[in-house]
Amino acid sequence: MSLSEGDIAFALELFEGLGPLTTRKMMGGLCLYADGTIFAMVHSDGAILLKGANGFDDELNAAGWRHWSYTRKDGAPSSMPYWYLPEDLLDDPNEACTWARKALSALT
């Protein structure tokens, strides 16, 4: 599945409260950067995920966010340090940016 321009525009608009963002297409999706730090990605299916690191992952787990995992070609389970943005945040840019700032704080 290919990421649509609409999905990209939606993610950029959702996080516009963070200030200028840059992007980079990777693995069929899109990485989102604030001041050169990757804090989120848009999956090829349009899902938006935040990066969890340095203890922020514990907060995401405690809040019930779903961790991104997948199965490798050899059948082995794997995961990346990203959690799916809950649906209610997709309609609340202020709250989405609050969580994104937490992600960035843990990464810098």
Residue ranges of domains in the chain, CATH in brackets: 5-107 (3.30.1460.30)
Residue 72 φ then ψ, to 5°: -70, 165
Classify 52 as helix, strand or coil. Answer: coil
- In this prediction, residue 9 carries a pLDDT of 94
In the predicted structure, residue 2 carries a pLDDT above the cut 80: no
Per-residue confidence band for 1, with pLDDT thresholds at 50, 70 and 90:
low
- List pLDDT tens digits, range 52-76: 999 999 999 999 999 998 888 898 8
50: pLDDT strictly greater than 60: yes
Q: pTM (2 decimals)?
A: 0.89
pLDDT at site 80: 87
**In sequence order, what are the residues at sequence separation of 6 or more whose Cβ sits closer than 8 angstroms to the Cβ of residue 98?**
none
**Residues 14, 21: contact at Cβ < 8 Å?**
no
User: Please, what is the angle between helix 5-14 and helix 93-107, to 10°?
Assistant: 80
pLDDT band at 32 (very low <50, low <70, confident <90, very high): very high
Contacts of 58 (CB under 8 A, 6+ apart): none
**Segment 77-107, tens digit of pLDDT:** 888 899 999 999 999 999 999 999 999 999 9
